[in-house]
Structure formats: C-alpha cells, structure tokens
C-alpha cells in the first residue's frame, strides 16, 4: 500500500472517529428522552448524512441509484417515529432500519444490492455485526497512521495523549468504583470532592462509548471491506503472503507500531491509576496505623462493617492489577529505553501502593475472621492464601519483568502456585479452619456447629470428635447429627479399591466414637426435643 493511500485512509479514519464521537454524544443527548419520537429521526438522519458524506468523498462508486433509494427508505422508516405510536409497528420499523443498514454494507463486499440474493442480505447482517465489534479496533490501530503525518505536533503529543486517556479513564473508573465499594470513607471523599452521581456519569459514558463504537464500526465497515490488518502479513520474494508472527519470541513487535504504548500514554494511564491508588492509601493509613480502636472510635465507621466491607473489592483490585501491568508491559515499545524505564518506574510505584492496599485487605480479613469477627471458613482461608500468593507473584514480577527478565516470569509464577498448593495439601486446610474456630471459641467467641460439622469434611473429623466433649449438650447433639450424615454419605468410599488416608482416619475416629457412646445404625437425634432449653449457637 502506497504512502498516499495510507495517508488517505488516515484522513478518512480520523473523519470517521470524529463523526462517530459527535454522533455518540448527540445520541446520549437525544435518545435518553423516552418515548422516542423526533429525537430518533434526528439521530438516524445524522448517521445517514454522515454515511452519505463519507461515501461521496471517499467511495463515490458506492453512491448510486440503489444506495440512494436505500437511504431514502432508511429515513422514511426513521420518520415513522414522528407520526406512529404503535409499539408492534415501531418494532417492525426498527427491524426495517436494521435491514436497510445491513444491505448498505454489501457494496464494500463487491456486491450490488440490486442483484444480490437473500443469502447475501443475510451476509450483510452478519458482516455488519462483525464490523460493529472488530472495525473500531482496526480503525484506530490499522487504518490511521498516527506517526509520521504532516502535523507532527498532533501525531507526537495530542493523539498519544488522547489514546492514553481512552485507555486510562476506563481503568480509573473500574478501580475507582472498586475502591468506593471497599471503603465508606473513600466513597465519601470522592462524593464530597466531585459532588457527582457516579451512577449517572457511568450511564452517560457507557451510552456515548457504545453509540460511538457501533457507528465507527459500521461506517468503517461500509467503506473498507477488509478485516485483516495491513501489518499482520508480509510478502516474501515470491510474493506469497506469510504471517510475521514469531511464536518463539511472541511479543508486540508484529503489531502496528501505532499500537505500542509510548511515554505519553504510559504517563497518563499509570499516572492516573497511581494517583487514585495513592488517594485510597492516604485514606487507609489512619486505619492501618491507628489500630482497631481507631476504627471503632471513628464516627459512622463500625468495626464489623469495616471488616465485612471491601474484602471482595480489594481482592478484585489486587487480581486486576497484575493483568493490567502484564498487558501494559507487553504493549510498550521496549526498543525505546526511556519508555521502558518510565514504565518500570510507574509500575514500581503502583506495586508499592498495591502492597499497602493488600495490607489493608489482609487487615480486614483478620478482623473478619478473628476475635472481633465471625470465625474462619474455607472460603475466607483460601482468600487469604490467594492474597499471599498474589503478593509473592508481584514480588516475582518486580524481580523479573521490571528487571528485564520477562521470559522467566511465567515459569516462576507457575512454581509459586504449585509450591503453595503443595503446602496446602500438607497443612490440611479443613483441620486448620476447625482448629482456628475452636481457639476462637475458647477465647469467648461463638462456635458455628452447623458449619464446622456439615461443611468441613473428613479431613476435620478426627479433631472435631476429639473436641466434642467441650461442647454443650445441644451443640454436641447437632454435631453428632452432622457426623452421622457424613458417615452415611462416605461409607462407600472406605473400600480398599478407593482407599484414602483422610477417609480412613475419619472412619476410625467415627467408629471409635460410636462404640464409646453406644451409637448404632442411623443415630440421628431430635436435638430440639432433647434439649429445648438450649440454643444452637451458629
């Protein structure tokens, strides 16, 4: 493809982006008013006028009598919203608009709508759907040549800044929403500072992005028929097309250079994220260093609410940061040492802030499961283990990827996971959970008999039977019912063909307990009748 054609596609691509953004903003303003009427006609008119203008300037051969007739039909059915109110009829009119729009894409496939068959019209629907999803990516990363255009200021500063904002703002919104859900103080700070309805802001942004996306995809698809990026293939001396991929060193070098992240994008994306993380950390510092008393004595923040709130959100933040950093590092231009150094600095700052956030998350888990909380469960135990594994992985990330040894990262991460899983198999998580809950009971906390006897399985049975004499009569009765249920469910697993040490130990402990207490067969008891005066602590 010649430079002239590339430049032409760049101009067209920029025009499509500008038009799509304008139509998206207009759609957010027009289409929010229900029920639809004049606003719908005006919005479809804008799309049609943009389509005709781009076709006339770039692909005039597509603008003929047939396509003009289709545009006329499109506006006719759009105009029905001005004088019809029947819901079934309007739904049929919407279907007609979609059908006409699909047929208008056929010229890009070198098909004449007038002489095409039904299968071709169905192809138009499929083709339109594919373009709505894929074409915006190609428009930004393939059609538009961001570097080397006549206006170097725009190509070197403005466009990278716009791209950085387009990537950074969604990340900022996602992590910001998670932080607001995790901490009431941080949520209050954001709402007081911005004084905005976050739900309404999300609604406007989503609608603008969605409408701009589908319009850009549709317009690009009707002007260019190819969905294969120009840079994805190269030609050898025999003019045969071969992929540029090298699977041994699979990196972003085979992608268009415009897809690589430069210093401006990195500064904007991770600058915004680090600012958000730093703000959250500042809010958390009094809780981390002030102790449990500070949490209890802070107005409108109760210890139980603080412990429960944010465990899942902060865990999700920790999980999401790793792929964001990995993907970001994959897309940077590592041939530019200054760019790679900037990424390492920004990523290092984010990991440092993340460790403070992980400490906050761990503190919440300790509160949630400790002497002030609600006891330990397998889910909470594995959540804390997962948090520890992530901490180890981030340390490994800093020691490999940020030190220039990316190929070693995955191998080390694999063995961190395998080693942790091996330790879990050795330590017996169910027994650990039961042991912890017993210790909490001895310290004055309630003992959840239902969970510790019905949810914990064979691995915890020997310790549970050993602890039964320390329970009240009612609690022991409930525990025996749980053990009886487990006994009936797992008898088939104690045969030699599928022998298992944990099941064998559980069977031995159960048989011994039944023999000592004269329990035979199905020994379910009605604890409510036997001990009506005692409550079942759960």
Residue-level pLDDT at 350: 93
Residues 222 and 265 in one domain: no
Instruction: Identify whether the C-beta of residue 149 lies closer than 8 Å to the C-beta of residue 7.
Output: yes
* 243 secondary structure, DSSP code: E
pLDDT of residue 17: 86
Same domain, 99 and 213: yes
Report residue 456 as tokens: 């914990």
How far is the C-alpha of 353 from the C-alpha of 365, rounded, in Å? 19
The answer to whether residue 177 is domain-embedded is: no
| 526-529 contacts at long range (C-beta below 8 A, 24 or more positions apart) | 527/474, 527/477, 527/478, 527/481
Residue 240 inside a domain? The answer is no
207 and 301 fall within a common domain: no
As a whole number of angstroms, the distance between CA 91 and CA 486 comes to 57
Q: Give the separation between CA 532 and CA 474, rounded to whole angstroms.
A: 8
CA distance 394 to 202: 31
Residues 87 and 221 both lie in one domain: yes
Q: What is the pLDDT of residue 46?
A: 92
d(CA 304, CA 308): 6
Q: Report the distance separating Cα 404 and Cα 335, nearest Å.
A: 12
Whether 406 maps to a domain, the answer reads yes
Q: Are 31 and 208 in contact (CB under 8 A)?
A: no
pLDDT at 178 over 90: no
- Quick: pLDDT tens for 240-278: 444 444 444 455 666 666 667 888 889 999 999 999 999
Q: Is residue 225 part of a domain?
A: yes
Q: Are 208 and 64 members of one domain?
A: yes
Residue 469 and residue 366 share a domain: no
CA end-to-end distance (rounded Å), the chain: 72
**Does position 61 have pLDDT exceeding 50, yes or no?**
yes
Q: What pLDDT, in 10s, does the model give residues 75-101? A: 998 888 887 777 778 888 888 888 888
Residue with the bigger pLDDT between 207 and 202: it is 207
3-class secondary structure for 443-505? CCCCCCHHHHHHCCCHHHHHHHHHHHHHCCHHHHHHHHHHHHHHHHHHHHHHCHHHCCHHHHH
Q: 32 with 114, same domain?
A: yes
Q: How far apart are CA 41 and CA 23, in angstroms?
A: 13
Same domain, 60 and 207: yes
How many whole angstroms separate alpha carbon 26 and alpha carbon 332?
34
202 lies in some domain: yes
Using left for φ > 0, alpha for ψ between -120 and 50, and beta otherwise, residue 251 falls in beta
Residues 402 and 460 in one domain: no
Q: What is the pLDDT of residues 284-341, one digit of tens each?
A: 887 766 556 666 666 666 666 666 667 778 888 888 998 899 888 888 877 778 888 9
All residues at 6 or more sequence positions from 252 whose CB lies less than 8 Å from its CB, including other chains: 259, 260, 330, 331, 332
Residue 348 has what pLDDT?
A: 93
As a whole number of angstroms, the distance between CA 59 and CA 412 comes to: 53
Domain that holds residue 323: 260-427
Instruction: Single out the residue of 66, 89, 65 nearest to residue 77, CA to CA.
Output: 89
End residue of a domain, out of 427, 459, 492: 427
365 located within any domain: yes
Rounded Cα distance, 326 and 329, in Å: 5
User: Secondary structure of 129-185 in the HEC alphabet?
Assistant: HHHHHHHHHHHHHHHCCCCCCCCHHHHHHHHHHHHHHHHHHHHHHHHHHHHHHHCHH
Cβ 174 vs Cβ 320: under 8 Å: yes
466-512: pLDDT as tens digits: 888 888 777 778 777 777 777 776 654 445 555 677 778 888 888 88
> For the residues 180-200, what does the mean pLDDT come to?
75
The pLDDT of residue 355 = 92
118 and 77, same domain (yes or no): yes
Q: Does some domain include residue 484?
A: yes
Percent of the chain at pLDDT above 90? 9
Distance CA(316)–CA(350), nearest Å, equals 15
Record the pTM. 0.65
34-to-38, 40, 81, 210 alpha-carbon distances in Å = 11, 10, 12, 18
Q: What is the pLDDT of residues 358-386, one digit of tens each?
A: 888 887 777 777 666 677 888 888 888 88
Residue 370 sits in the same domain as residue 502: no
Residue 497 φ then ψ, to 5°: -65, -30
Domain boundary among 400, 427, 454: 427
Co-location of 283 and 310 in the same domain? yes
Number of domains in the chain: 3
pLDDT of amino acid 307 = 63
- Domain assignment present for 179: no
At residue 532, the pLDDT reads: 60
Domain stops at, among 375, 398, 427: 427
């Amino acid at each position: 493809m010649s430079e002239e054609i590339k430049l032409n596609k760049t101009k067209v691509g920029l025009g499509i982006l500008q038009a799509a953004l304008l139509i998206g903003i207009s759609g957010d303003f027009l289409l929010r008013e229900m029920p639809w009427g004049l606003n719908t006609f005006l919005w479809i008119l804008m799309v049609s006028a943009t389509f005709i203008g781009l076709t006339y300037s770039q692909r005039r051969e597509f603008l003929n009598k047939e396509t003009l007739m289709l545009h006329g039909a499109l506006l006719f059915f759009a105009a029905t919203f001005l004088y019809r109110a029947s819901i079934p009829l309007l739904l049929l009119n919407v279907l007609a608009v979609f059908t006409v729009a699909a047929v208008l894409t056929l010229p890009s496939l070198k098909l004449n709508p007038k002489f095409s068959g039904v299968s071709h019209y169905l192809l138009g629907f499929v083709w339109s759907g594919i373009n709505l999803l894929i074409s915006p990516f190609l428009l930004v990363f393939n059609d538009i040549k961001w570097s080397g255009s006549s206006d170097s200021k725009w190509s070197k500063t403005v466009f990278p800044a716009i791209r950085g904002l387009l990537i950074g703002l969604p990340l900022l919104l996602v992590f910001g929403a998670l932080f607001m859900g995790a901490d009431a103080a941080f949520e209050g700070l954001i709402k007081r500072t911005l004084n905005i309805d976050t739900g309404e802001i999300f609604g406007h942004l989503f609608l603008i992005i969605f409408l701009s996306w589908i319009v850009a995809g549709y317009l690009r698809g009707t002007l260019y028929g190819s969905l294969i990026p120009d840079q994805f293939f190269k030609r050898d001396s025999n003019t045969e097309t071969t992929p540029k991929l090298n699977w041994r060193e699979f990196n972003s070098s085979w992608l268009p250079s415009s897809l690589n992240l430069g210093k401006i994008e990195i500064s904007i994306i991770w600058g915004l994220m680090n600012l958000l993380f730093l703000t959250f950390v500042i809010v958390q510092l009094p809780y981390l260093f002030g102790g449990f008393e500070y949490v209890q004595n802070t107005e409108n923040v109760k210890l139980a609410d603080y412990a429960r709130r944010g465990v899942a959100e902060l865990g999700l933040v920790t999980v999401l940061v790793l792929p964001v950093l990995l993907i970001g590092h994959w897309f940077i231009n590592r041939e530019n040492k200054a760019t790679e150094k900037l990424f390492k600095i920004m990523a290092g700052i984010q990991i440092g802030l993340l460790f403070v956030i992980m400490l906050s998350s761990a503190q919440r888990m300790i509160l949630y499961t400790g002497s002030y909380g609600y006891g330990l469960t397998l889910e909470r135990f594995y959540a804390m283990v997962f948090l520890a594994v992530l901490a180890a992985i981030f340390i490994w990330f800093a020691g490999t990827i940020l030190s220039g040894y990316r190929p070693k990262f995955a191998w080390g991460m694999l063995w961190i996971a395998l080693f942790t899983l091996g330790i879990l198999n050795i330590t017996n998580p169910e027994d650990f959970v039961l042991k912890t809950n017993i210790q909490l009971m001895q310290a004055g906390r309630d003992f959840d008999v239902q969970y510790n006897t019905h949810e914990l399985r064979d691995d915890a049975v020997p310790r549970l039977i050993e602890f039964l004499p320390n329970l009240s009569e009612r609690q022991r009765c409930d525990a025996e019912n749980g053990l009886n249920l487990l006994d009936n469910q797992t008898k088939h697993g104690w045969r030699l063909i599928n022998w298992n040490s944990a099941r064998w130990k559980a069977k031995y402990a159960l048989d011994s307990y039944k023999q000592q207490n004269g329990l035979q067969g199905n020994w379910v008891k009605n604890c409510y009748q036997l001990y009506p005066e005692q409550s079942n602590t759960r």
